Amino acid sequence: MSTQNIIPEVAHKPKPNPWVIVGRGVLQSFLVLLGIVVLYPLLWMALSGFKSNTEIFNSPFALPQNWSFSSYVDAWNNGVSQFVVSSLIVTAMSIVATVLISAWTAFGLTRTKIPGKPLLVGFVLGGMMLSPTVALVPLVRMMQSFGIYDTHWALILLYTAFRIPFTTFLIRAYMLDLPYDLDEAARMDGATEGQIFRKIILPLCQPIIVSCVILHVLFAWNEYLFAMIFTSSADTQTLPVGLTSLMSKHGTDFGQVFAAMTISALPIVIIFFLTQRYFIRGLTDGMGK
C-alpha cells in the first residue's frame, strides 16, 4: 500500500482561466474601494484637526497648509484628557466585571448540574431583550438611592449589568464546545469546581474572551445614553458626552472639535487593528467546526 503512495504525482497546473483573473481583479478593486470608503472619513477627520476654521470651510478636502498641533493640544487641555481618563476607568472596570461574571455564569450554565437549567438559561439570555431606554427612569431613582449618581460607579454598574446577557451568550456557546471529559479528568485529579473554572475552562476560553473584551470596548467607549443621563460633572463624563459638551462650549472652533473626535476614536481604531485576527477567530470558533 505504502509503495503505491510513493509514485510521484505529476504536478500539472491548469491553464489560468481569463475569467477567474477578471473576477479576482473586480473583487480586489471592490475591496480596495470599500477600504477607502471606511478609512477616508477617519483620515479626513484627523486631517481637519490640523486646519484652521477658514481652511475647513474654504478647502475642506485639501491637505492642511501648516501642520499645527495646536488644536490637538487645546482639545486635550480643554477637558478631553479628563474624558479619556473617565472613559478608560469605566471601560476597563466594566470589562473586568462583565467578563468575569459572564464567564462564571456561562460555566454554571454549561458545566454544572442544576435543576431547571433551560429556564435559567432563558432567564439570563432574556436579559438581552431588556431595553435600556425603557428602564431609564427607575434606574435613575436606583442610582440616586445607591448614592452613586454622577460617579463612575454608576456607569460601571450599568455597563456591566446590561452587557452580561450578551457576553454570557457568547461565552456559553464557546464553552458548550469544550469537551466534558476535561472537567471529568480534572475532577479525577481532585480539582474543585472553582479550580476547574480557573485552571482549565477559563484559559481554554481565551479566544472568545478576547472577542468579548473587544466588543465591550466598542460598546463602553461609545455609549452615550447612560453616560449622558447618569453623569453630569466634567470629571465624571466619558468621551461621547464630554465631546458634546465640548462642542457646545467651543462649537465654533471646528479644528478643535475634529481634534477631540480624533483623539477619542484613536484608541478604538488601534485596538481593533491590533486584535482583529483574534476577534474574528473567537466569534467563529464558538460555532463548532
State yes or no: residue 112 binds another protein (CB under 8 A): no
State yes or no: residue 190 binds another protein (CB under 8 A): yes
Helix and strand numbers, DSSP H then E, in the chain: 15, 0
Which has the closest alpha carbon to 219: 176, 271, 260, 262?
271
Q: How far apart are CA 17 and CA 124, in angstroms?
A: 53
To another protein, the closest distance from the beta carbon of 195 in angstroms equals 7
Which has the closest alpha carbon to 187: 199, 173, 175?
199
Q: In what helix (H) or strand (E) does residue 277 lie, and over which residues does it extend?
A: helix 254-285
DSSP 188-231: HTT--HHHIIIIIIHHHTHHHHHHHHHHHHHHHHH--HHHHHH-
3-state secondary structure of 16: coil
Of the pair 199, 249, the CB lying nearest another protein is at 199
The size of the interface with another protein (CB under 8 A), counted in residues, is 16
State yes or no: residue 195 binds another protein (CB under 8 A): yes
State yes or no: residue 188 binds another protein (CB under 8 A): yes
To another protein, the closest distance from the beta carbon of 45 in angstroms equals 42
Span near another protein by CB under 8 A; candidates 19-27, 66-74, 192-200, 234-242: 192-200
Task: Choose, by CB under 8 A, the member of 18, 115, 134, 181 that binds another protein.
Answer: 181
State yes or no: residue 194 binds another protein (CB under 8 A): no
Task: Choose, by CB under 8 A, the member of 155, 200, 227, 261 that binds another protein.
Answer: 200
Site residues for another protein per CB under 8 A: 179, 181-182, 184-191, 195, 199-200, 203-204
